[in-house]
Structures are given as C-alpha cells and as structure tokens.
Structure 1
C-alpha cells in the first residue's frame, strides 16, 4: 500500500532490508481469528520481526527475561512495525506481535550461545572478548555472565530436558500451522493437521518418536467409531480421536496443532467450542465467508 492508499501485488521476494528501505510503502497482512499472520504478507512480517529483534536499539539481549524489557522499547517496536505494515487496530494484534518479538529474541540468544559460548574450550575472559558483530560489549558481557550463573545453568538444563522429552517432531520447517490450513484452502481437523505437519516428504515419520503409532491409533479410532456410528460426521470423530489420544481428560495450556500464540482457552473456551461445533456441523463455510466479508469492508475503508 502506497501513501495514497493504493494497493498493488508484489510478486518478487521481499526481504527485511526491502521493508526497512521502502519509502511511502506498507505491506498488507491478513490474519486469522487467532491473530496469526497468513500468506505472503504474514511471512514478510514474521521475517521482519526476526530481523528487528536482533537490533539493539529495539531489543536488549542482556535482558534475559522478556518481562524485564522496558515498556518504552516494546512501544517503539509496535510503532516501528505498524509504520511498515498494514495491521488492524486492536490489543490482540499488538500482543501477538510482542509475543513473536520475544520468541525471536530468545532464538537470537540461542544462536549466539551456540556459536560463541564454548566453556569447554575457552576461558570466561576469552568468551567475553569475542564480542559478536552488532552486539554492544556491555550487553555481551552481561549475557555471558548470565550463562555462567547458576540460574542460567538451571534453565539450560530445563531446556535440554524439555527438548529430550518431545516425542513428536514438527517437519514443515518455518511454514506455520496457520499457513498449512491456508495452503489447503480449507479448515483441517486436528488429526489432519498433525499428519501434515509431522510427516516427511516421503510420507514417513521421524524415527524414535511416537508419531507413527499415534497416527495409527488415531486412524483405528476413526474407523471403529464410523463402524459404530456411520451417520456421525467424520470431522467430529477425527477431532475426538486427536483430543482423546493426545490430551486424555486434560485441557492443555498450549494446544498442539494450532501454532504460536494460541492458548487452551482459545480452543477449549466458549469461543473455541462454538467455532469447532460450527466446523464439525458444516457451518464453517458461513463462518469463513463472514470473515472474508469483514476483511473486504476493512480494505475499502483504508
């Protein structure tokens, strides 16, 4: 979108530096009901956020706790992103952006630690002297001190244990769950999303994980339920199979298969239940048409 509100389609690749140096231009982004960015505009936004999170004037990597980052930095981040992207007004969008910034900052610190923190081969002084490009010296020293601290070591061990306990591995790379559904041009059941996001290109599943058995158990559950209740919608049975096999009787804080920023209340709360019932009863077409209609009205207002 140019300064006069005219919209044109961009066919070529758009990198973060293109966004930074674009004059009188903002990139339009569409979102789903979970405030997740979709399509090409969404990918451009996510990459730009990742690039912004690596700039010291916006994010302080020495603040190992995202909640300790000054509010002024977060406000500047929101303003900067809205200067370069057309994003609807609302707290939900701003919160979603900040959550992605926090995630990008954590990933950046992880990359720095993996590349430069070598306590087995280098002394503390040597690591402190090897300041990475683009990182202020005082921030780097403070970050190294944190990695050496008992608190830093404790959280590192917790992270390793959490990673080792994962028995399902996502295989679609940087493609988000939201864009998986967008690519299919329809809403998928939870079991279908799980299959598509955990299967390799050759159709196999990652070895030494419980994924293949989970999918087999899910398909068996669906077949048996259809044999007992042939009139019951298959969509409903597939969602039931996934929930029972994955969660049992518990309600997860972070549901699997919905992507970043989605909480348990978004799926198992009132809004989530109504949305799922509409999908399972076939009314999701009407649901989506209403969303598209609102988006078209909003674009005309711009």
Structure 2
C-alpha cells in the first residue's frame, strides 16, 4: 500500500493497524508505511514552517499528529511514549529535508532576489528568506560544518534500504525461530547480497562478533556485555547501538530486580486490543450507515405519500440538519 492509498483509506473511515515490539518500535507490514508517512509529513512545510531554528520550536505538531497519524493508523500508545517517538521521526525528516532543499535551491553566486525567485515550491517567500539568513549565519555555518565532520566519522553505516533495524530483527527472528541479537543483525546489515562485507572496517567488527558468539553463545542475547558491546566498546550515553531509533539504555538494560517482560505475550495482547478496537470502529460505522439508510427509506416513503414533497415540518428539520452539515 502506498502513502496516497493510506490517505485515501483514512478518508473512508478505515485505519491501518500498527503493531509495536517490546521496545515500542513499529514492526510488521504497517511499519514501512508509517515511516513513509512520517517522512512525508515532516517534509511538508505547509504544515511545519521551515522558518524555525529547531524542531522543538515548531508549532502545530499535536494537531498534525491527531489529524493525520491518529486518523490513518490504529494503535495503543504507551503513556505518550510512542507519540513522542513518532514526532521525533517527523522532526528528523523536517530537519534533513530543509538541509537538502538549501543545497539544491540556494546558489551563493545569485543575488538574494534570484534565490527568492528560485525557492522551492510551497514555501512562502518570507519563510525562504528567513531560512537563507539563518543558514548563512556564521554560527549556523560552524554547526553545519561540525555535523558534516561527525557524519564522516561514522564507520558503521549499514545497508538494507528503508527497512528499519527493528523490522529486520523481527523478520530474522521469525526466520531463525528464536530471538536474534543485535550482533547478528549488525553482520546481516553490513553484508552485501553476495556475502561480502560493505567495507573493511565492517568485516573486522563482523568477524570479531562471530568469534565472540562462537566462544560464548549467551553473548547473542541483548545485554550490556553482548557480542556487539564487546566488539564496539562502551555505549554512547542515552543511545543503544544496533537497535534502531527509540530505545534507551535505561529501557533495555533493566536492573535484575525488575521482572522480565514476556515479549510474545505483550505483543499478542497489543495485537488483540488493536483488532478489537478496529472491529468496534467498523461496527460503529456500519451502524451509522444502516441508520442513515433507514432514515432515507422513511423519507422516500413520505415523499411518495405526499405527492413528491416532504411534509412542511419534516422539510424544515431536514433543511436545518443540512445547514449544520455544511458548517
């Protein structure tokens, strides 16, 4: 299903059921579609103006979340955690897209007027002027330069297209018939289809992970000392490598005093709740349609009984209802 088809489906009152794993990451068939829609919404500068210094300052996020995401998808949020993560993904699209637009539409050799005339479609003139001024500010230039240097230092970029690590991990776990660790996913996502590693550094890390897991199979299981942690070293604060967007160390590496979560049971419960709520929504829509059909049948009968016209009192009420419906 495409993004356009999902939007058309939501207009008909149908929603796509989303499923989330234990780490509250979208998985399954709807996850890819969700990612595409979050990207499309985040890069829509008619919804989120380009003329802000950061995503945190952008207004209207709650409205877009309620009117678009919640209207297209059906899922159980977890105390607002999922909403926060989805808005963060939209924010990344907002930030990345405006960087690409600056590189593709701004020419330092042009005059300001020429740059304003050549601005991207859908962005107001004054908004593009603000953004040009912001990007050309010395402080912003220094920040962008540092970001470029940081990206060049990233040695472990993986392949696999738009499929998230969470989806890849779930699919591989289903294929293997057991829970697959992040070390195994690292190897999977850093190899080409012919089995070769994408670069020499990835090969060294992959072979080290394989060696660690051969010596101790328990290092396949997610932990602060699993095969990936031993191969790559200490985790970055606030992030967990090899797990994709969202999970944090405090969420994944729970103290031993806390009871473990039965992941399979949790996901099955969530799936059943989503399906039940979707059934209730569908039933409500059917009841409304049946009620409307019954009313139309009665009105048709009344028209026939009164020589093609409704009784004056009923006609007045219908006109009143039509007026409210158009507002």
Both structures adopt the same fold (TM-score exceeding 0.5): yes
How many residue pairs match? The answer is 269
Does 2:4 match 1:17? yes
> TM-score scaled to structure 2, two decimals?
0.74
**Alignment-derived partner of residue 229 in structure 2:** 243
Q: What secondary structure, in the 3-state scheme, does the structure 2 residue paired with 1:270 have?
A: coil
Structure 1 segments of 4+ aligned residues over 6 angstroms from their partners? none
Which residue of 55, 63, 70 maps to 1:66? 55
Does 2:28 match 1:35? no
Does 2:56 match 1:86? no
**Alignment-derived partner of residue 249 in structure 2:** 264
Q: Is the 8 A contact 2:28 2:167 kept in 1?
A: yes
Q: Deviations over 1:191-232 (max 9, x none)?
A: 10111112122222223x521111122222333x34xxxxx6
Alpha carbon RMSD of aligned pairs, Å?
A: 2.6
**Alignment-derived partner of residue 11 in structure 1:** none
What stretches of structure 1 of length at least 5 have no aligned partner? 1-13, 227-231, 279-285
Q: Is the 8 A contact 2:27 2:167 kept in 1?
A: yes
User: Greater CA radius of gyration, 1 or 2?
Assistant: 2
Shift of 1:179: 0.7
Does 2:105 match 1:135? no
**Alignment-derived partner of residue 75 in structure 1:** 62
Write the distance in 2 (CA, Å) between the matches of 1:237 and 1:66.
32
Shift of 1:291: 2.4
> TM-score scaled to structure 1, two decimals?
0.80
Relative contact order, CA 8 A, sep 6+: which one is greater? 2
**Alignment-derived partner of residue 186 in structure 2:** 194
Shift of 1:137: 1.4
Q: CA 1:152/1:195 → structure 2, altered by over 3 Å: closer, same or farther? A: same
**Alignment-derived partner of residue 272 in structure 2:** 296
What stretches of structure 2 of length at least 5 have no aligned partner? 279-327
Within a 5 Å distance, the mapping from 1:143-292 to structure 2 comes to 143-184=131-172, 185=174, 186-207=178-199, 210-223=201-214, 225-226=215-216, 233=218, 235-236=220-221, 240-248=226-234, 250=235, 252-270=237-255, 287-292=263-268
Which residue of 118, 140, 150 maps to 2:107? 118
Q: Deviations over 1:86-137 (max 9, x none)?
A: 1213401211111111011012112212311232x43444323211112121
